[in-house]
Amino acid sequence: MRASTRRLGARTGYYTTTTALAILFLFPLVWAGWASVKPTPGSGQTVGYGLGNFANLWNYGQGLPTYLLNSVVVAVLSVIGTVVVSTLGGYAFARFRFRGHDLLFLATLAILMVPYPTLLIPLYVLLGWLGLQNSLVGLALVLMMFQLPFAVFIMRNSFEAVPRELDEAAMLDGCSSFAVLTRILLHAVRPGLVTVGLFAFLASWSDFVVPLILISAPDKLPLPVAVVSMQQRVFGSIDYSVLEAGVVVLAVPCIFLFLVLQRGYVRGFMSGSLRG
């Protein structure tokens, strides 16, 4: 009797503490959404609740559609690039032996070891030489490069977790190595693909430093840099409400995609990233 009362007390304590913490973690996100639509003097929304701040954001600078489109282009290019390159690379590392196998794997992981500003300063010059200055393609390529260590690692581990008998049987049936990859293995490594793709999206959609340094043309800026420039342009009174509207536009796609894909993401993350 007393033991069960104590257990009930412990359980209540646990749920109270954890719920309070969960609310604390969710509060800023909820607040940003609320602050972007609530009435605030001096903002785009002075009376009643409404989308006045979003209307201001829509018309800011080159216009929200331009920035959004830039962000979408960069995110899509770098997600596709990351998924394709890391899948092919992971397949090569897991299933083939070739000259430079270990060296290339180590060089890829070494990207993690090098501080990003050390690479961004020369990349700024290099992309200029390649004619990719102020180019969304150049930006996507660089963001993809920063994703590759994690992505290749996950994909190699995902392929290694698939039994070799599967490909050998298909090879005996006359499948080429590419057919083995596309027809059989891609299904088996789906959680890894989801993790890599989602991670690449979250990183490239939200990245700030890389475009800050590589892109200077106003019509090529992705959304995060554009919203931050709104904050730093004004002296004196800053319109915080429109900033929070920008935060909402930036955050909603990430939160949505994460909630939809989180099952696969967490599974891929746990099976791929920490084994190996």
Partner 1 sequence: MRRDRRRLVGMAYATPLAVIVAVLFLVPLGLVLWMSLHEWPLLGEPTLNLPDNYTAIAHNPLFFDAVWFTLTYTIIVTIVLFAAAFGLALLVQRHRPGVGLFRTAFFLPGAVGFATASLLFYGLLSRDLGPLNPILSALGVIDKPVSWISGSPKLAMGSSIGLVVWRFAGFNMLILLTGLQAIPEDVYEAARMDGAGRWQQFLRITLPLLRPTIALVLILMVTGSLLAFDQFYILTNGGPDNSTTSVVMVIVREAFTRFDLGSAAAVSVVVLATLILFNAMQLQMLRRGDRPEDR
By CB under 8 A, what part of segment 124-183 binds partner 1?
124-126, 141-142, 144-145, 148, 152, 177
How far is Cα 258 from Cα 266, in angstroms, rounded to an integer?
A: 10
**Piece in contact with partner 1 (CB under 8 A), picked from 44-52, 59-67, 105-113, 187-195:** 105-113
Structural contact between residues 71 and 222, judged by C-beta atoms closer than 8 angstroms:
yes
Interface with partner 1, residue 233, by CB under 8 A? no
**141-115-81 Cα angle (round to 5):** 20
- Pick 69 or 212: Cβ nearer partner 1: 212
Interface with partner 1, residue 3, by CB under 8 A? no
Among 1, 47, 97, 131, binds partner 1 (CB under 8 A): 97
User: What is the smallest separation between the CB atom of 243 and partner 1, expressed in angstroms?
Assistant: 6
How far is Cα 263 from Cα 200, in angstroms, rounded to an integer?
A: 17
Residues 254-273 that bind partner 1 (CB under 8 A): 254-255, 257-259, 262, 266, 269-270, 273
- Pick 55 or 119: Cβ nearer partner 1: 119
> Going along 205-265, which residue ranges are E strands?
none
Helix axes 64-95, 52-59, angle to 10 degrees: 80
Interface with partner 1, residue 197, by CB under 8 A? no
Tokens linked to 55: 């209307």
